[in-house]
Amino acid sequence: MLKGIDPVINAELIHALMLMGHGDQLVLCDVNHPAQTIARQTTYGGLIDVSGCGLERAAEAILKLFPLDTFVDTPVKRMQVVGDPESQMPIFSTIQTVIDRAEERPVKMEALERFAFYEAAKNSFAIVRTSDPGPYGCFIFSKGVV
């Protein structure tokens, strides 16, 4: 263990975060996301698991180290509810609160249709899968600069 680094941040995750540059994207997802399949197509090329951890806790730990991009209007994207794109799942507001608190400002989040989200995830740097049961716990964070 290292001082000051949340134990949720395992060695593989911190390695991936350190490799990322400005504008690179990180997917944070629940256990229902086809993460293993999509992760093969990312820049990192493999799935990063944070087993035993939910989305809220993982987002809090990651966003202590990971600045969000301030050069884009919506540095965070989430998956829409299939068949009801206006629907709001509880995890959406939970993660919004975590993001706003970490950035100390309101941050816009864009909703993407399911398959558009999967395509965006394929173009991300890496995918981090939590043990969160979901549903719709799928988010993409765009990295900024410190």
Indicate which residues carry an active-site annotation: 22, 69, 118
In the structure, how many helices (H) and strands (E) does the chain have?
5, 6
- Rounded Cα gap, residues 128 and 30, in angstroms: 9
Is there a cis peptide before residue 90, judged by omega within 30 degrees of 0? Answer: no
- Rounded Cα gap, residues 41 and 56, in angstroms: 25
Tokens of 144: 């900024």
- Rounded Cα gap, residues 62 and 142, in angstroms: 12
